[in-house]
Amino acid sequence: MDIYEEIKKLTEISAMSGREDRMISYIISRLKESADDLHVDKMGNVTATYLGRGENPPSIAYFAHMDEVGLIVKKIEDTGFLRLERVGGIPEKVLPSEFLDVHTLDGTTSVRGVVGNTSHHLTSAEKKFSVTAINEIYVDIGCRSKEEVLSLGVDIGSSVTYVPNFMKMGNCIVSKSLDDRMGIYTLLALAEHLETAEHEATVYLIFTVQEEFNVRSSTPTFKRLEPDAAICVDISPACDTPELEGKYDMALGKGVAIMYMNFHGRGTLGGLLPNPKLNQFLEEIAKDELMNCQKEVVIGVITDDAFTQLAGTEGIPMAHLSIPLRYTHSPAEAACVKDIEDCAELMCLSACKFGRHVDLSRGC
């Protein structure tokens, strides 16, 4: 599986939160021949099961989200311009003059548009250094009336996503929606590995929906499965660029990160404090295999595992692997290919080494 071609393909698939059907179909097409069982729940979460050895084997789940940040059409002006709301953490600062794909309401096709940006020559002094708020942003799709927009199949409720733009840049890749298509890539790599590798545990590969919108939509899957352990695979903001240098110890090219705490930083959204022994299990594998590995503690980031850890009757021991990513949620996210490969390797090793001998109990 060529990492460049695979991630390029994944990032080209439009899958805004709540509109993941194209990605769901792609995952099914990729895994229907290899998985022992393939299940899509009513939310859209996909679970591929690879059965372990013997009777009543232990189970471990690996999961990553299929969706991407985007926008939604909230109003069509009589003049043909579109007004938007954010779906997930789209940063308004990146939107002016950005090319976007505006999808028809039925999701069958899309039209290309551009976010309007006041002509430089006529921009007032007070506006030159300010961020345009979402309620002032509009999209131009070349229509001159509301009727013309509607005739294209675009309507209130249409999804809007960044334009596919995958490219290589040195030893890095740059694209929209690397968050979390890199995680999806590692799950597909693990699926390929499990086709031939021996593993004591039953391994669940879970492709989740709506992480960017509400971080809770995978909970039904974990209540249904109640695995003995689970590992989330997502991104973490890299702090190796000039404006973020030193904020956190996270950099491209230094390997996958084992997370020790993440937290949203406000309200009830919470975060994850992983199972210490599951982290130790991952750390020991990385050490034995001489793998580059980082440690992550970050405020301002929250992922699926913040809530899935609470599923079932006793909760689920969780760990989290993070792939460092620059320019998160922008149209040009950047990652190091070796970090992605290291993450996939650690997942493959841990899936095959996980068994009843791995003690995840607390208090001893």
Distances (CA, A) of 62 to 20, 171, 208, 270, 333: 19, 26, 11, 21, 23
b/e 72-92 (16+ beta carbons within 10 angstroms → b): bbeebeeebbbbbebbbebee
Catalytic pick from 211, 212, 296, 345?
211
- Residue closest to 95 by CA, chosen among 71, 68, 123: 71
Give the whole-angstrom CA distance, residue 342 versus residue 131: 37
Give the whole-angstrom CA distance, residue 57 versus residue 213: 34
Q: Is 191 helix (H, G, I), strand (E, B) or coil?
A: helix
Give the whole-angstrom CA distance, residue 224 versus residue 314: 13
Beta-bridged to residue 206, according to DSSP, are: 47, 63
Identify whether 211 is a catalytic site residue.
yes
Residue with tokens 């969780």: 318
Could you give the residue numbers annotated as active site? 211
